[in-house]
A and B are shown apart, each in its own frame.
Chain A
Amino acid sequence: MSGGATRRDALRVMGASIALSALAGCDQPDEFGHPLHGRGRGVASEDAVFPTTLELDGLGRGVLVRTRGGHPIKVEGNPGHPGSLGASDVFLESAPLSLHAPERSRHALQRGRPAAPGAVRDAFAGLRGEGLRIVTGPLSSPTLRRLVAEALEASPGSVWHVHDPMADPASQAAALAAFGEAMEVLPDLRAARTVLCLGADPLGHGPAQLALARAWREGRPRLLVAEASPSLTGARADRRLALHPAEFEPLARAIAGELGVGGLVAGATHLAAASLATALREAGPGALVLAGRGQPAAVHAIAHAINAHLESSALRLISPPSGGGEAMAPLEEAMRAGEVSRLLLLDVNPAHDRAGFAAAMGRVAHSAHLGERVDETGRAAAWHLPLAHPLESWGDSRSFDGTPGIRQPVAPHPGGEVRGTVETLLALLDREGTGRDAVRDTWRTVWGEVDFEARWEEALEAGVAGEPAPAASLALRPDWDFPGSPFPPGLAAHFAPDPHLRAGAFAHEAWLQELPRPLTRLSWGNAALVAPETAARLGLAAGDEVELTLGGETLRAPVLPLAGQAVDCVTLPLGFGRRAGGPVGEGRGFHAAALRPADGAWVVPGLALRATGERIALIARESQPGLEPDTAKVVAPGERLPPFAYGSSLHQPWPYPGAAWAMAIDLDACIGCNACAIACQAENNVPVVGPADMARGRGLHWLRVERHDRPEDRSLFQPVPCMHCEKAPCEPVCPVNATVHDHEGLNAMVYPRCIGTRTCSNNCPYKVRRFNFEDHRRRVDTPARNPDVALRPRGVMEKCTYCTHRIQAARAEGRLDTVETACARACPTRAILFGDLNDPQSAVARARHDPRSYLMLEELGTRPRTSYLARVEEGGA
């Protein structure tokens, strides 16, 4: 190698001039003297993983939080917890981001001004006393329920109200009528053979999504979906019907009539009823009918009756883990009448969700709002008290099936005036002790003194603190049916939670705002969704502004015609139009909740719609232009796709002596939930570019989830990461060799070499390369960033790395057979497989030999390492 050394020396001397010219771009020791954190107290090592529980709609999902030097950097599912089963969703993944949000409250505010030191004590003193009203979200937490009960006992005449913008009063009323007590249906999609969803969206975002999606994947029941607006379940349905809200009750009655369900008071007819009833009858005890949010109580009751009639074994009835509490409407009335003098709002935002609530709060003498940020309710309240982040404070919760879990803090408590919910109730009760003590007291009464310490340690270690709620066996009452008044035809308003923001609780999460919604593809805003037929009738196009009038209230909103939307049904996504709560959420989209009636109805008839002639720019990312539609393949059951045929190549062959990393994505399992995309963003420090750059198509998501149209307005979702081609078209065209091939088949990107010609992106047939038009490093460089992934400066390309840092970490730990990318780790249906192609036993190698396996744009001869498994549908493509 002496010749090589000479050449190298010559290059070194030549390189001096380059060193001169590239001084600015060089990695000078600019990090010299930067802090190197010693370990915090009780932190066993730099890398630590803690099990804890995070809530969605008051129901817990077990997670494992990865921390580095005491800072949480990534949230992953806890495989031992029934609410997550090792997977995660967009809400869990974004938890570390909000921990470091700059707009978070750190100090108590009195009438919007910083409170004097020690004055918070007066706030609590003012709340103690007769007639206290406590408003919480849905509570499953045993400790919070105990403390609320004690607070009610301490103040005579006090009332606990539950504010839940996601609640479905009709389903509660139907359960009462059908079973005589409040009950919740837990579907068992693993045992079901045919599931009829009447507006129900079991695969959609929600506290049970991860468990239901996994069960659906394993059991693969036939899904028959009737819905007013496209949902993730409808996208994956085997048969889908778009129904106007007025049609659901007649359809349900007609099906019940066909099946001969006893106790049906009124019959009806519907064209689709006979075939649906036959499908249910054929499934026998494997049949399951689910009624969803927004259905009238009668439809819920009929669903219970059909399940009882067919003796369905695919469901369990449990007592709701977060039940209890009074409704909000009587509170609002009492407030307006001036009868409420003490009001404590714990981590809820009714001033956003309920139209007249903020005005009514003005009549309450002592009102205090506990929240992470000064939102609409925080502004209207006399006191705003800063709330600790769930990752900073102690608590507990129950999952959708009633399994309890303890929430332990994984980040240092900010201290000062910042309190967790448990600590706030302790302060209200004027009790000594920490949140941890309160949680331990609760579980001490449950478990008893014997072996308490051992059980406590075990519960913290496992992330699960007990068994799921027992299944109730209740017979259907004979008088279950109560026909409502028929829903009038004509334009109906259909309120729906936004897939990423829920009813607004996640509006401050920039990742969730920016990621295109699975079906509408919108980011940084919402739109009134109308059927293409309705839009054509009214002469409306995407982005046209309309004036919506409902119940005397009017609102302006852009429209978006969406295939699969029921005719004459306008879906209004909640969660937008925030007027407070931080710069990320404020002023985005329109405030659909302003039109929602006070009883929290999800579907309301009598909507009037008028075009204003104005236009509002919608930020939507359609599927990548230029990609042919057959990039996502569909096969009939049992159909075989041709095996890969590699032609000859002009490129030098690469040897792959060690591992050969590859990914296989099962399109038949993907439900389009976007968890992989957010997991990738969290893992790889992918910046948020903001609405202006998103509108220019400059989003930086390394993994995009494409949507393809299927018959019956269903959708096929296709996650597209970098293909890591063995004959990568991007590599030979780079003038500075900034994108290079790796010995394990990774297509690596050398950021310091990149000069931003973007030739690689031009030459990439899959369009998976992203360019940094701005320098986002300062905003990404928070303690929540992943220190294992470099930040990218302005003017360089970036793209999926197959989580090369995870591969290296696994190699260092000697567990190369268990490498998982962040997207594969998050996927609730395990649609993404990652592994070593050189190991014939690996799941990804076996997937390559599956008859459904194909390569995207195989004819180009790029030999991608990412392969797909085609979706299976009756009738095939």
Chain B
Amino acid sequence: MAPIFTPRADARLRLVLVVAALLAVLALALGYAWARSGSTWAVGKPAEQPIPFSHAIHAGQLGLDCGFCHSDAARGAGAGMPAGELCLGCHQRVWNVTAQFAPIQAAVDAGLATQWASVHRLPDHVRFHHAAHLAAGVTCATCHGAVETMPRTVRAETLSMGWCLDCHRDPQTRGLTPVGLGAQPYVHAGIEVPPLTRCTVCHK
């Protein structure tokens, strides 16, 4: 009776196992790279806006303060998007290219809100409070990058939960002084819990 396994069967099995292990490692590595890559989080990708607005001109060349258009940032949860009237207030006098401002003019005429496309929107279950971060000394650029250099506004950071936690775990390494909630550390089951990493701080 001929043997069931040829002499090379064992070697082949070993090869298959080794290749499978290598593939698994490769898949993990690729997956890790994919999950951590900026493009997965839409970093550097501009969104289609109703008008070709340039932060590079307004915040860079003209030097307008962020709060000029995003006036709620210092006092509210949302930074606030400008009303159409604010744009047209200046642009009826300067650079009044009618065709370019048609979408905004239409919204203003209809008494509706101008629909800007969100670039930095966080998932639905995240609560982000602009004023709280500004009060704690976080600058606009920490999350939004150098918008004054962006002709088309893009995401500068991943804004992933891990990225947020980098700062929330230890604000002092970023040169920030913990205030309010962040200054109330406590110990549970022998572990010191960084106060800003508790779920309800950032999640609704």
- Residues on A close to B: CB < 8 A? 12-13, 16-17, 19-20, 27-29, 31-41, 43, 45-47, 69-70, 412, 652, 654-655, 657-658, 740, 742-744, 746, 748, 750-752, 788-791, 804-805, 808-809, 811-812
Q: A-facing mask of B163-201, CB < 8 A → 1, else 0?
A: 000000000000000001100101111000101001111
B76's nearest neighbour on chain A, judged by CB, is A46
- Residue from A41, A46, A752 in contact with B78 in the complex, judged by beta carbons closer than 8 Å: A46
A807 nearest in chain B by CB position:
B200
Interface range for B = 35 or more
B27: A residues at CB distance < 8 A: 20
* CA distance in complex: A31, B119 (Å): 9
Q: Which residues of B, 125-141, contact A by the 8 Å Cβ criterion?
A: 125, 127, 129, 131-132
A804 to B202, CA, bound (A): 11
On whether the beta carbons of B113 and A750 are closer than 8 Å, the reply is no
* Partner of B131 from A654, A752, A812 at Cβ < 8 Å: A812
How far apart sit A501 and B70, CA to CA, in the bound complex (Å)? 44
Q: A790 to B72, Cβ gap below 8 A?
A: no
Apart from A13-B32, A41-B85, 14 more pairs, CB < 8 Å: A16-B28, A16-B35, A29-B121, A32-B121, A34-B118, A39-B80, A40-B111, A40-B113, A752-B125, A790-B204, A805-B204, A808-B200, A808-B204, A809-B77
Asked whether, in the complex, the Cβ of A19 is within 8 Å of the Cβ of B31, the reply is yes
Answer yes or no: B42 CB below 8 A from chain A CBs: yes
Which chain A residue lies CB-closest to B80? A46
Closest 6 A-B residue pairs measured CB to CB?
Answer: A16-B32, A790-B125, A38-B114, A20-B31, A27-B123, A19-B35
B interface, CB within 8 angstroms of A: 27-29, 31-32, 34-35, 40-42, 45, 47-48, 72, 76-78, 80-85, 107-108, 111-119, 121-125, 127, 129, 131-132, 162, 180-181, 184, 186-189, 193, 195, 198-201, 203-204
Known pairs A45-B76, A811-B181, A812-B131; A36 contacts B111 (CB<8 A): no
Instruction: Tell me the bound Cα distance from A28 to B39 in angstroms.
Output: 11
**CB–CB B42/A32 < 8 A:** yes
Q: Which of B28, B80, B115, B189 contacts A652 (CB 8 A)?
A: B189
Q: Would you call B188 and A812 a contact (CB within 8 A)?
A: no
Please give the distance in Å from A8's CB to the nearest CB on chain B. 9
Complex: chain A residue closest to B191, CB-CB: A4
Q: What separation, in Å, do the CA atoms of A40 and B122 have in the docked complex?
A: 22
With a CB–CB cut-off of 8 A, which chain A residues contact B32? 13, 16, 19
Contacts of B108 in A (CB 8 A): 41
Task: From known contacts A38-B116, A43-B83, A742-B199, infer whether A805 and B127 are also in contact, taking CB-CB under 8 Å.
Answer: yes
Are B119 and A32 in contact, with the CB atoms below 8 A? yes
- B118 contacts A32, C-beta separation under 8 Å: yes
B29's closest neighbor in chain A, by CB?
A16
Which B residues lie within 8 Å of A29 (CB)?
41-42, 121
Bound-state Cα–Cα, A791 to B198, Å: 20
Q: Are B72 and A46 in contact (CB-based, < 8 A)?
A: yes
B184 is contacted by which of A13, A658, A748 (Cβ under 8 Å)?
A: A658
**Which of A29, A45, A788, A790 has the most chain B CB within a 10 Å cutoff?**
A29
Please, how many angstroms separate the alpha-carbon atoms of A808 and B180 in the complex?
12
Say yes or no: A657 contacts B184, CB within 8 Å.
yes
**How near does chain A come to B101, taking the closest CB pair, in angstroms?**
13
B83-A41 in contact (CB<8A): yes
A-B contact list, 6 entries, CB within 8 Å: A32-B119, A34-B118, A36-B121, A47-B77, A655-B187, A655-B188
Residues of B with C-beta under 8 A to A657: 184, 186
Interface residue from A19, A20, A790, A804 paired with B124 (Cβ < 8 Å)? A790
Chain A residues with CB under 8 A of B115: 35-38
Complex partner residue of B31 from A16, A34, A41, A748, CB under 8 angstroms = A16
Residue in chain A with minimal CB distance to B36: A16
| Min CB–CB distance B62 → chain A (angstroms) | 20
| CB-based nearest B residue for A741 | B188
In the complex, the answer to whether A37 meets B113 with C-beta atoms within 8 Å is yes
The residue on B at minimum CB distance from A19 is B35
Q: Give Cα A864–Cα B203 distance, bound, in whole angstroms.
A: 23
Contacts of A652 in B (CB 8 A): 188-189
How distant is A876 from chain B, measured CB to nearest CB, in Å?
40
Partner of A35, one of B77, B117, B187, B200: B117
Residues of the B chain whose Cβ atoms lie less than 8 Å from the Cβ of A658: 181, 184
* Contact across chains for B123 and A20 when beta carbons are under 8 A apart: no
Min CB gap A497→B, angstroms: 37
Most chain-B CB neighbours within 10 Å: which of A36, A47, A657, A743? A36
Q: What B residues does A27 contact at CB under 8 A? A: 123, 125
Q: Is the CB of A38 within 8 A of B123?
A: no
Closest to A68 in B: B78
Determine the distance from Cα of A34 to Cα of B115 in the docked complex, in whole angstroms.
9
Contact of B114 with A37 in the complex, beta carbons under 8 Å = yes
B203 touching A750, Cβ below 8 Å: yes
User: What residue in chain B is nearest A28 (Cβ atoms)?
Assistant: B40
Using Cβ atoms and an 8 Å threshold, which residues of chain B touch A743? 184, 186, 193, 195, 198
Q: Is the CB of B204 within 8 A of A788?
A: yes
Residues from chain B with Cβ under 8 Å of A38 in the complex: 81-84, 107, 113-116
Contact of B117 among A33, A788, A812 (CB under 8 A): A33
Are B114 and A655 in contact (CB-based, < 8 A)?
A: no
* Contact B189 A33, beta carbon cutoff 8 Å: no
Nearest-neighbour CB distance to chain A for B164, whole angstroms, equals: 12
| A825 to B199 Cα, complex, angstroms | 25
Let me know if B186 and A655 touch, CB within 8 A.
Answer: yes
A32 to B41, CA, bound (A): 9
Cα separation A35 to B107 with both chains bound (whole Å): 14
CB-nearest residue of chain B relative to A26?
B35
Chain B residues near A790: list those with CB within 8 A: 124-125, 203-204
| Closest A residue, CB atoms, query B114 | A38
Minimum C-beta distance from A633 to chain B (A): 31
Rounded to whole angstroms, the CA-CA distance of A33 and B49 in the bound complex is: 9
Alpha-carbon separation in the docked complex, A790 to B199 (Å) = 14
How far apart sit A28 and B50, CA to CA, in the bound complex (Å)?
24
Q: Which residues of B contact A41 (CB under 8 A)?
A: 83, 85, 108, 111
Chain A residue numbers with a CB within 8 Å of B81 are 36-39
B112 / chain A contacts, CB cutoff of 8 Å: 40, 412
Set of chain A residues within 8 Å of B204, measured between Cβ atoms: 788-790, 804-805, 808
Contacting pair A17 B83 (CB below 8 A): no
B77 proximity list for chain A (CB < 8 A) = 46-47, 809, 812
Cβ of A17: which chain B residues have Cβ within 8 Å of it? 28, 31
Cα–Cα, bound, A27→B45 (Å): 17
Q: Which residue of A lies closest to B135 (CB)?
A: A812
CA distance A342 to B142 in the complex (A): 68
Q: Closest Cβ of chain A: how far from B45's Cβ, in Å?
A: 8
CB-CB < 8 A to B131: which residues of A?
Answer: 812
When distances are taken between beta carbons in the complex, the residues of chain A under 8 Å from B123 are 27, 31
Write the nearest CB–CB distance from A237 to chain B, whole angstroms: 42
Are B113 and A20 in contact, with the CB atoms below 8 A? no
Q: A654-B188, A752-B125 are in contact. Are A39 and B48 (CB under 8 A)?
A: no
The CB with the most chain B CB atoms within 10 A, among A37, A43, A654, A657, is that of: A37
Chain A contacts for B180, CB-based, 8 A: 811
A31 touches B188 (CB 8 A): no
Chain A positions within 8 Å of B181 at CB level: 658, 811
In the complex, the chain B residue whose C-beta lies closest to that of A788 is B204
Which chain A positions have C-beta within 8 A of B162? 12
CB distance from B79 to the nearest CB of A (A): 9
- Give A658 to B200 CA distance when docked, in angstroms: 14
Q: Which residue of B lies closest to A37 (CB)?
A: B113
Q: How far is the CA of A17 from the CA of B127 in the complex (A)?
A: 27
A738 to chain B, nearest CB (A): 10
Q: Whole-angstrom distance between the alpha carbons of A812 and B76 in the complex?
A: 8
Residue in chain A with minimal CB distance to B104: A38
Contacts of A750 in B (CB 8 A): 199, 203
B118 touches A35 (CB 8 A): yes
Among candidates A34, A46, A748, residue contacting B200 with C-beta atoms closer than 8 Å: A748
Residue from B32, B72, B83, B204 having most chain A Cβ neighbours under 10 A: B204
A652 and B190 alpha carbons, distance in the complex (Å): 10
Smallest beta-carbon distance A594→chain B, Å: 44
Query: B47 touching A751 by the CB < 8 A rule?
Result: no
